């Protein structure tokens, strides 16, 4: 199987770029961040503090997270309910950052992620794909952009969906999540040693997709 790992901070455009490249390449797209968001949503719905390790861990036995690929789109299901839209809200993002630091949560999702990669040519994105989940991926990328640009992109995305949001609040949340993700004890956010770093601050989405596809084609020929 040809596996591509894309890591990077929140709001860097990993999902959009991975989704677009996967469509062009005929690969499946696996958004691992969506899985952590689903765990976060499950905790929020139960009024569980997302930093409460014992209660979040205990909750894992009550939930089932699955992915479905419908019309080329990834759908995320929590106990068979489609939560693909709910997991994109800002509170789900912060909850995902909290629960992703819990070892039991990472173990809970690890087998599902590995199974998807083992059985499919795929592009998988997240925070520790190239360093932990798929250390033997054929191609590893680290996609980033300035915090201000990432906040601006997320602001436009939420406003377009009709979700009221404050830009400064989004920027503060992104900066805080960057710190949380890069300083956690378990699988901190960082580029794999052999990753290609892509700074997309001044790049359009199509330019990022084209660059990824070009890299894949070059590696396929090796």
98 with 91: CB under 8 angstroms? Answer: no
What's the whole-number mean pLDDT along residues 149-170?
92
Alpha helices in 47-165 (DSSP H): 53-59, 90-99, 103-119, 147-160
139 with 5: CB under 8 angstroms? Answer: yes
Tokens 């139960």 map to which residue? 46
Confidence at residue 126, expressed as pLDDT on a 0 to 100 scale: 87
Between 3.40.250.10, 1.25.40.10, 1.10.357.10, 3.40.50.300, what CATH number should domain 3-220 receive? 3.40.50.300
Query: Sign (positive/negative) of CA torsion 151, 110, 130, 140?
Result: negative
> Between the CA of residue 56 and those of 1, 48, 71, 192, what are the distances in Å?
34, 7, 33, 29
Angle of helix 205-220 versus helix 14-25 axis, rounded to 10: 50
Residue 192 CA to its chain's centroid (Å): 16
Does the pLDDT value for residue 203 go beyond 90? Answer: yes
pLDDT tens sequence across 86-125: 998 889 988 998 999 899 999 999 988 998 899 889 999 9
State which of 13-22, 31-40, 47-56, 154-163 shows the largest mean pLDDT: 47-56
What's the whole-number mean pLDDT along residues 173-186?
89
Q: Can you read off the two tokens belonging to residue 87?
A: 């997991």
Element (H, E) at 43: helix 32-45
3-state helix, strand, coil in the chain (%, to 5): 55, 15, 30
Of 17-31, 61-75, 170-184, the poorest mean pLDDT is in: 61-75
How far is 186 from 175, CA to CA, in rounded Å? 19
- What's the chain's average pLDDT? 92
pLDDT tens sequence across 117-151: 998 899 999 888 999 999 999 999 999 999 999 99
Confidence at residue 90, expressed as pLDDT on a 0 to 100 scale: 86
Q: Can you read off the two tokens belonging to residue 173?
A: 């949340």
How sure is the predictor about 163, in pLDDT bands with cuts at 50, 70 and 90? confident
Confidence at residue 221, expressed as pLDDT on a 0 to 100 scale: 66
- Torsions phi, psi for 86 (to 5 deg): -60, -35
Confidence at residue 67, expressed as pLDDT on a 0 to 100 scale: 84
Confidence at residue 222, expressed as pLDDT on a 0 to 100 scale: 61
pLDDT tens sequence across 45-70: 999 999 999 999 999 999 999 888 77
Tokens 């997320």 map to which residue? 154
Contacts of 57 (CB under 8 A, 6+ apart): 102, 104, 105
Q: Can you read off the two tokens belonging to residue 73?
A: 């789109």
Tokens 């950052």 map to which residue? 97
């Amino acid at each position: 199987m040809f596996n591509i790992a894309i890591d990077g901070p929140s709001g860097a455009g990993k999902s959009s770029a991975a989704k677009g490249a996967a469509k062009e390449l005929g690969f499946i797209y696996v958004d691992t961040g969506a899985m952590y968001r689903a765990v976060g949503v499950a905790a929020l719905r139960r009024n569980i503090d997302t930093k409460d390790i014992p209660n979040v861990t205990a909750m894992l036995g009550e939930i089932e997270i699955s992915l479905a690929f419908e019309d080329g789109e990834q759908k995320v299901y929590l106990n068979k309910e489609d939560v693909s839209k709910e997991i994109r809200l800002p509170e789900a993002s912060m909850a995902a950052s909290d629960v992703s630091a819990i070892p039991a949560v990472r173990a809970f999702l690890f087998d599902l992620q590995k199974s998807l990669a083992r059985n499919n040519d795929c592009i998988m994105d997240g925070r520790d794909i190239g360093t932990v989940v798929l250390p033997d991926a054929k191609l590893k990328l680290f996609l980033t952009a300035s915090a201000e640009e990432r906040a601006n992109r997320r602001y436009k995305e939420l406003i377009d969906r009709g979700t009221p949001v404050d830009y400064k609040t989004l920027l503060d949340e992104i900066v805080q999540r960057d710190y949380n993700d890069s300083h956690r004890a378990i699988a901190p956010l960082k580029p794999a040693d052999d990753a290609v770093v892509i700074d997309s601050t001044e790049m359009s989405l199509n330019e990022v997709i084209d660059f990824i596809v070009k890299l894949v084609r070059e590696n396929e020929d090796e």
